[in-house]
Structure 1
Amino acid sequence: MPLVLPHSVFFHIPKTGGIWVREAVANAGIPAVEASHRTQLNKGFHGTYHNSEFPADKFLFAFVRNPADWYPSYWSYRMLAGWQYSSLDSCMSADFGVFVRRVLRHFPRGYLSEHFERFCGPPPGVLDFVGRMENLADDLIQALRMAGESFDEAKLRTTPRANFSPVRPIYPPGLREKILESERRAVERFGYG
């Protein structure tokens, strides 16, 4: 579900640091509430801009991640939590290389490019700010300042890592490049080129 702060709304895109963002917001002393929206029935964390209704004066933000890093993270998470919910789970395999090959076959135009678009809107986007997981603390601070939120930056920066997997698979030769090619839209849009 989106996280509603006094002046902003955070949209949690899976596997982009959202659990840490929630903990950092709380640690920094910003009051926030989980907001429901009209199409989310499973009470999860993930709400998209187009199925949410918020006052027009709210600053909207989210985070993305390099597609080449997102897939290993997603696979590791599913190996621990189980394969369910997502259309991407139809590509499940205990072998990371097989999983990636299935993703490329089933989603030749880039699953993650479309996934990011569901949250951020079509280019140029509808959110006020899209940060990158690779700069999570700095980009969160920038978004919060842009939104006019009051917060304790030192406490935010001391928030420990959250929800990370100790298992990180390695791409078989050539597959990382193929993922980046299939995800060209996200790579170019969010500056991962």
Structure 2
Amino acid sequence: MALYFPGGNALLLLVPKTGSTWIRAQVERLGIEAEQVGDPAMRDHDFLDAYDRNSYDLIGAFVRDPIDWYRSYWSYRMEGGWRPQYPLDEHCRSDDFTTFVRKAVTILPGALGNIYDSYVGPPGAEIGFVGRQENLAADFSRFLRRIGVDVDEGALADGERINATAVRPDYPEELKELITVSEWNTMARFGYLAGRPDPIGLGEMRARYPATAEDNRLLTLWTEQIHWAPDDVKRQAGRPVAANTRHARVHSNFALLAQHKHGDPDYAGQRYRRALELDPGHPRTLCNYALFVWRELADPEQARRLMLRALSGRPRHPYTLGKFARLTDREFGDPRLAEVLYRQSLDGNEAQQDVPVELADLLVRLGKPDDAVALLRQRADRPDAGRLILTALAATILRTGGDAAEARRYRDRASTAGPPPQPVPA
């Protein structure tokens, strides 16, 4: 259903959680000539495509700041129940507001933007009037004036708030940041980005690499998502993760993107340094910056200092130990120490794929071919063995004079194997 104003041949679409109930009440209270039209099954919220746009002199609708909209939507569902026919309800329902937001931004990123498009049209093809729920009385008065209905704005402002929910969950800044990233395009389109902080520099990243702007947004959400479980454990133990650490992770991943996808080492270096300004001791950032210094700046000594700095704070950090082993072997000619470091890395995280492959290569060079084959076979014989391990084992068997038929079997398995599950970065 929607509101049709015959005097101005105008249609007002009623977008959920943007003041629709209030608007209908004021129309009735002030005696404004209007009628409900459309499909009753839509529960007062017909989409734009249910109507012939050319049949009306003006079509209007209201939007709302996504940060407020998600809280209002969840609160409404907590009081009125979830409706599985709606995607947000089907996929994201939760009695916990944080869980609801996390599901929404990762399962249905930009969901509200899609909802708004259904009412106001896509960018570049909008309807004639888009008001904002934050200025509900003033904007509804403006809509009425556009269609020739003279109503005192003060009388509208006197209308009581309707359909307000009693449940008002806490809204920590972390969740606001998630909504901002998820609904970035919508917030920019309707003017809601103004005044919102951008601690990860997403706007800058999108401007620098416009062709991959959406990839950058999704990378941000992925970076947040893979850390929720370990961060929640720390929070429950009374060790909440600082916002600077969360932001540093994204800066670090943006640096990797600039370095490896865009071939932009100058900007990658800037992003690494920003990450380390926010969290000087973050081991993965220090290690990745060390690899950057080694590869892009050809400074293995500085790379070693950075890795040692990372290990001074997290001596058993598997990722850094593995990269330090590679640096030690390839730049400092100490394969024995490299073997120790590789094994320490695997002790900390058995799920790594590149470390056993590199260690097997080192063992062959150290005259331990049987150890190399055994190391890889132990992992290759698992049901979830990935392509990298299977391929490396086949090559190692042949390299060390082993059974060619066995090598072929592993190579055949590798041809159909998928990538293994990725370990969670720390």
Alignment partner of 1:185: what SS?
helix
What residue number does 1:157 align with?
Answer: 157
Alignment partner of 1:71: what SS?
helix
Aligned residue type for 2:11: V
Q: Report the count of equivalent residues.
A: 189
Instruction: Map 1:98-177 to 2 at 5 A.
Output: 98-108=99-109, 110-177=110-177
Shift in CA distance, 57/118, structure 1 to aligned 2, threshold 3 Å: closer
What residue number does 1:74 align with?
Answer: 73
Q: Deviations over 1:26-68 (max 9, x none)?
A: 22221111102xxx46151001111123663431111000000
- TM-score w.r.t. length of structure 1: 0.91
- TM-score w.r.t. length of structure 2: 0.43
Aligned residue type for 2:25: E
Deviation at 1:16, TM superposition (A): 0.4
What residue number does 2:25 align with?
Answer: 23
Are the equivalent residues in 2 in contact too, given 1:12–1:63 (CA < 8 A)? yes
Structure 2 gaps, min length 5: 194-426
Are the equivalent residues in 2 in contact too, given 1:30–1:150 (CA < 8 A)? no
Q: Deviations over 1:71-105 (max 9, x none)?
A: 01000000011000311002000000001111011
Aligned residue type for 2:35: V
Q: Give the Cα separation in 1 of the matches to 2:113 and 2:130.
A: 14
Are the equivalent residues in 2 in contact too, given 1:27–1:156 (CA < 8 A)? no
Are the equivalent residues in 2 in contact too, given 1:61–1:127 (CA < 8 A)? yes
Alignment partner of 1:4: what SS?
strand
The root-mean-square deviation of aligned C-alpha atoms, in Å, is 1.6
Aligned residue type for 2:128: D
- Percent identity, aligned pairs only? 41
Structure 1 gaps, min length 5: none
Q: Give the Cα separation in 2 of the matches to 1:57 and 1:12.
A: 16
Deviation at 1:191, TM superposition (A): 0.4
Are the equivalent residues in 2 in contact too, given 1:68–1:179 (CA < 8 A)? yes
Alignment partner of 1:105: what SS?
helix
Alignment partner of 1:70: what SS?
helix
Q: Give the Cα separation in 2 of the matches to 1:43 and 1:117.
A: 16
Q: Give the Cα separation in 2 of the matches to 1:66 and 1:121.
A: 17
Instruction: Map 1:175-190 to 2 at 5 A.
Output: 175-190=175-190
Q: Which has the larger radius of gyration?
A: 2
Q: Give the Cα separation in 1 of the matches to 2:175 and 2:136.
A: 26
Alignment partner of 2:160: what SS?
coil
Q: Give the Cα separation in 2 of the matches to 1:57 and 1:172.
A: 43
Alignment partner of 1:114: what SS?
helix
Alignment partner of 2:78: what SS?
helix
Aligned residue type for 1:94: D
Aligned residue type for 1:104: V
Aligned residue type for 2:190: F
Shift in CA distance, 29/151, structure 1 to aligned 2, threshold 3 Å: farther
Between the two structures, name the one with larger relative contact order (CA 8 Å, sep ≥ 6): 1
